[in-house]
Amino acid sequence: MTPVIEVQNLTKTYPDGTQAVRSISFHVEEGEIFGFLGPNGAGKSTTIKMLITLLRKTSGDMRIMGLDVDANPDAVRRLIGYAAQEVGVDDDLTARENLLLQGELFHMDRNTLHRRTDELLNLMDLAGDAHRPAGSFSGGMRKRLDLATGLIHQPRVLFLDEPTTGLDPQNRANLWVYLERLNKQENLTIFLTTHYMEEADKLCQRLAIIDQGQIKTIGSPRQLKQEIGGDVIILRFANNGQSVAQQSEQAQTVLGDAPFISGIDRFDEGLNVYTRNGGEAVADVLRLLDARGLRVAQLSLSNPSLDDVFLKHTGSKIRDEAPMQNWRNVRGGPFGRRR
């Protein structure tokens, strides 16, 4: 069967010479939720804009349902729905008017359009507020309306650029439920970009880790985490006469020879140490470091997370933005198990 999205060696170089996307290849199967996980500036939005016909590629091949995107932009537009990071609804129009306008632009016939509008208002739990202007909606409701307007013409694939950026944790988790519902009830293929690991972990059946315009690895979240194997001990150092970098380097040398350690990755504030049984290894790790006079400022032990996968493939940690911070403080802390 033809994949819904097929991308081969896609490249985008901006006129100023910036190579935003460097020869990436991937495919998305029907009914899949597929994600691009990467930091801001990794090339996620550029890729999505090329796929939804808003930006021209420099080279490579993009197909949606077998159609060459650049050669058939209008045909592709009928097959895709899109919700940008910004909420693209008209605040002066009611929820219903927003949906009807969008449907009219797809030249849907009246009956189908009205039936579909009711269907989406129900699906997104907006039926009770259908006659209120979108400007009076909460952030979560506006986002749901935005999703609905992107779905009015029953697209085969929905593109979401950072769907939950700017939402508080509760609304974010809420939106995930709606996305999963759409995926199941409408057998909708979803392509999304995110820099929230938790989102990628929770929603995506498969994901690509993207950094500096390149895909570093592709797989299901579980697969990717299993590749790391065992547990992760995260060591953080603080400046104490010796710089963090120096301490990290020394620690890496000391621990590098230990037989119970399967791998080490460095990040700005310290090290990720991979081991089969973290609980047993912690004491040994500390003893080895102590013998060299290295003091660990903070230590945590966890199962591998996508953050660790990211570090392993890119050499740096992905930085979550503010809203996630709250969750981290609640769930983990020094010496606690992370999310």
Partner 1 sequence: MNTTTASAGFALRRKPGAFINETWSLYRRAITKLARRPVILYFSLVQPMVWLLLFGQIFERIARAPGFAEAFGGQSYLAFFAPAVILQTILFGAGQSGLGLISDLDSGFLSKLLTTPINRLAILLGKILGDMTRMLMQAVIILLATFLAGLRFGDGGLQMTITYAYGLPGILAALGIALLFGLMLAGLNVTVALTTRSNEATFLISNFLTLPLLFTSSAQLPLEFLPGWLQAIAKVNPLTYTIDALRLLLYGPSSIPAGSNAGSVIGSALLILLALASIMLLAGARSFRRVTK
Shortest Å distance, C-beta 127 to partner 1: 21
Whichever of 35 and 155 has its CB closer to partner 1, that residue is 155
Q: Determine if 26 is a binding residue for partner 1 (CB under 8 A).
A: no
Nearest to 123 by CA among 105, 83, 150, 87: 150
Q: Of the ranges 86-94, 110-118, 231-239, 329-337, which one interacts with partner 1 (CB under 8 A)?
A: 86-94
Q: Of the ranges 29-37, 145-153, 226-234, 293-301, which one interacts with partner 1 (CB under 8 A)?
A: 145-153
Shortest Å distance, C-beta 234 to partner 1: 37
Pick from 86, 125, 168, 321 the residue near partner 1 by CB under 8 A.
86
Pick from 15, 17, 66, 259 the residue near partner 1 by CB under 8 A.
66
88-106: b or e for each residue (b if 16 or more CB lie within 10 Å)? Answer: ebeeebbbbbbbbebbeee
CA distances from 43 to 10, 197, 266, 281 (A): 11, 17, 24, 38
Q: Determine if 241 is a binding residue for partner 1 (CB under 8 A).
A: no
Shortest Å distance, C-beta 86 to partner 1: 3
Strands (E), 65-143: 67-68, 80-83
Q: Determine if 309 is a binding residue for partner 1 (CB under 8 A).
A: no
- The burial of 210, by beta-carbon neighbours within 10 Å (0-12 exposed, 13-18 middle, 19 or more buried), is given as buried
Q: Determine if 92 is a binding residue for partner 1 (CB under 8 A).
A: yes
**What is the total count of residues that contact partner 1 (CB under 8 A)?**
39
Whichever of 146 and 211 has its CB closer to partner 1, that residue is 146
Number of residues assigned to the chain: 339
How far is C-alpha 167 from the chain's CA centre?
A: 14
CA distances from 127 to 17, 130, 287 (A): 48, 5, 62
Q: Determine if 107 is a binding residue for partner 1 (CB under 8 A).
A: yes
Pick from 24, 87, 99, 179 the residue near partner 1 by CB under 8 A.
87
Shortest Å distance, C-beta 3 to partner 1: 13
Q: Determine if 191 is a binding residue for partner 1 (CB under 8 A).
A: no
Give CA torsion, residues 198, 204, 209, 215, to 10 deg.
Answer: -160
Pick from 77, 116, 144, 236 the residue near partner 1 by CB under 8 A.
77
Asked if 4 and 159 touch (Cβ cutoff 8 Å), the reply is: no
* Cα gap 267→33, rounded to integer Å: 30
* Spatial strand order in the sheet of 67-68: 19-28, 5-13, 59-64, 67-68
Q: Determine if 187 is a binding residue for partner 1 (CB under 8 A).
A: no
Q: Determine if 189 is a binding residue for partner 1 (CB under 8 A).
A: no
Give CA torsion, residues 256, 257, 258, 264, to 10 deg.
Answer: 20
Q: Determine if 138 is a binding residue for partner 1 (CB under 8 A).
A: no
Shortest Å distance, C-beta 308 to partner 1: 33
* Cα gap 259→277, rounded to integer Å: 12
List residues near partner 1 by CB under 8 A: 52-54, 56, 65-67, 72-75, 77-93, 97, 101-102, 104-107, 133, 146, 149-150
